[in-house]
Structure 1
């Protein structure tokens, strides 16, 4: 049986943080997703490997067992055929010796996985009267939601296999977030438990706001006079429009910040900020009087040494 290097499969170091593992998994899962690789058997197998690696490394308990036993997996090779109790020294790789007395399932877990035989050896099923009880496969589905739903939260009801299911989308939910519904995956047969259903949220683009973590970004156009002299402008937020002060001399491209007007922080009472990027609009057509006034302003600015102009 071939040893599965889950760290190599996800392309992360053995000391990778949970967040690094999550990011690597999401990137690879998106790349090899069946919807993007229809009919590609290699991509399908790669996707299975990626999911299997994430199942282990993304779970603190499984990862700890894998790290402890992974290097010595050959020592437990007999466990695949003999799931009874056993004792005595075992010799792993690099001459390491250890002993264990008990049921291999103490390490390997109670349920089958639907993954590779290597996975099942470590995390698969315990023998019960010569038979293994398997957990049914997990199901993954994507659910598109709006940015407004991600902001306020919502509830969705849908039907699966004739059964109505209801999920709660909490305020601050984000793109790629997985919602787990236990026991709603594939059947585990007469002896096994059903798998789980994973709903992956896909937050759509918003015509007004761009999301940057917990902050929201919006572009706001202002006229030249407000940029020069300052003033109040109306800015849309997720909960309605508010007035915002524009300082005198605001430059084009300047970003102003409205505290607490961004996205809710998931599972928290705090909010991110609203970032307002200023876009100064210049007058397109000047009357003769306006043109003369601007020329006068230019002469005044030259006299103060602000600008230099040559004709």
Structure 2
């Protein structure tokens, strides 16, 4: 970047405050970050330039030298110390960058490392050492299942938006103190994978399914995938923990005289005997016909709630019979 004006690159005045410089960089980084402009080489180059400009202008010592010596600022103290090492600077080699050999370094600019700034910009919330690959993380996702799937268990093909460590920067996000051009400084690149997920019988809304080893990949280890389950509402059944409530229509004559009705279950219909003089709203239990208990060899019940159906479109003969019944009941 020899000959380029760092202030001009960030769009700030030469007397700009640290806060103004940081705000300008954040705005430009959001605009030119490679994640926002995939495959755009010009945006990638611009991102490199503003990152270098921010590295210098956010550091008081470097900025002072830049203001005095311009694009030759790096050589201002050259050979100031014996041995030819530039005063005030540390020599960086691949052992520093990738964590081999000596102690890893955290390169900070004006009190903030680029990792934390990019975390603020893109929601990653990371602030970490450059020489440490990004931490392996579990993947949290959501899955919606039907009541039938929760009852019997099921197998689903699930698509995961994943990320893998960048092979260029080894997951550090930087190469020679500059944001990695391959991954744009994120340390990862996006991938997509499909896996087969087994839904265990008995899951309910709020259950979490853990699939070991299907999280984000890191160097030497992989996180887990966690699926937060939501069970869809059903048109017939209302789930109450492991019990299933269902409303059953019972003809008036059957409720009065007794008889038999069919009760729906998730395995088919079952016959239920209705005793004489059954009242509206009465609940009958069909033991063991409800939902399986997750991880256990037990089941809930079907709770069949009676809804007495009053006949309509009565014939004259039926009306006369009801009228006769009324007189008998009133007497």
How does the TM-score come out when normalised to structure 1? Answer: 0.52
* Corresponding residue of 2:135: 135
- 1:204-223 mapped onto 2 (5 Å cutoff): 204-223=232-251
Q: Distance in 1 between matches of 2:192 and 2:207?
A: 25
Taking structure 2 as the reference length, the TM-score comes to 0.49
Secondary structure at the aligned position of 2:223 is classed as coil
Distance 1:193 1:148 in 2: 36
Aligned match of 1:158: 158
1:68-83 matches, within 5 Å, as none
Once the two structures are TM-superposed, the CA of residue 290 in structure 1 deviates from its matched residue by: 1.6
Paired position in structure 2 for 1:171: 201
Aligned pair count?
Answer: 178
Distance 2:301 2:203 in 1: 16
Q: Name 1:39's counterpart in structure 2.
A: none
Aligned partner of residue 312 in structure 2, secondary structure: coil
In structure 2, the partner of 1:64 is: none
Aligned to 1:282: 310
- Check 1:116–1:302 CA distance in 2 against 1; reply closer, same or farther (3 A cut): farther
1:27-59, Cα deviation, whole Å (9 max, x unpaired):
xxxxxxxxxxxxxxxxxxxxxxxxxxxxxxxxx
The CA distance in 1 between the partners of 2:243 and 2:199, in whole Å, is: 19
1:198 matched to 2:222? The reply is: no
Q: Contact (CA 8 Å) 1:135, 1:187: kept in 2 or not?
A: no
User: C-alpha offsets along residues 6-32 of structure 1, whole Å, 9 cap, x if unaligned?
Assistant: xxxxxxxxxxxxxxxxxxxxxxxxxxx
In structure 2, distance between residues paired with 1:186 and 1:164: 13
Spell out, residue by residue over 1:67-90, the C-alpha distance to the aligned partner (whole angstroms, 9 max, x if none).
xxxxxxxxxxxxxxxxxxxxxxxx
Once the two structures are superposed, residues 209-242 of structure 1 have per-residue CA deviations (whole angstroms, 9 ceiling, x without a partner) of: 1111000011111111011111001111111111
Gaps of 5+ in 1: 1-113, 121-126, 304-311
User: What SS is found at the alignment partner of 2:311?
Assistant: coil
User: What is the SS of the residue equivalent to 2:228?
Assistant: strand
Aligned counterpart for 1:291 among listed residues 316, 319, 322: 319
List runs of 5+ in structure 2 lacking aligned partners. Answer: 1-123, 161-190
Whichever of the two has the greater Rg, that structure is 2
Give the drift of 1:162.
Answer: 4.4
For 2:210 and 2:222, the matched residues in 1 are separated by 13
For 1:193 and 1:131, how far apart are their aligned partners in 2? 18
1:208 deviates by 1.3
Following the alignment from structure 1 to structure 2, what is the Cα–Cα distance between the partners of residues 164 and 293?
Answer: 67
- After TM superposition, give the deviation of residue 285 of structure 1 in Å: 2.4
Tell me what 2:286 maps to: 258
Aligned to 1:21: none
Separation in 1 of the partners of 2:321 and 2:282?
26
In structure 1, the residue corresponding to 2:319 is in which secondary structure?
A: helix
The one-character-per-residue Cα deviations of 1:248-283 (angstroms, maximum 9, x if unpaired) are 111111111111111111112221100111111111
Matched with 1:181 is 211
Contact 1:135 1:194 in 2 (8 A): no
1:105-120 equivalent positions in 2, closer than 5 A: none
Q: Is the Cα–Cα contact under 8 Å of residues 155 and 169 in structure 1 kept in the other structure?
A: yes
1:186, CA displacement in angstroms?
Answer: 3.0
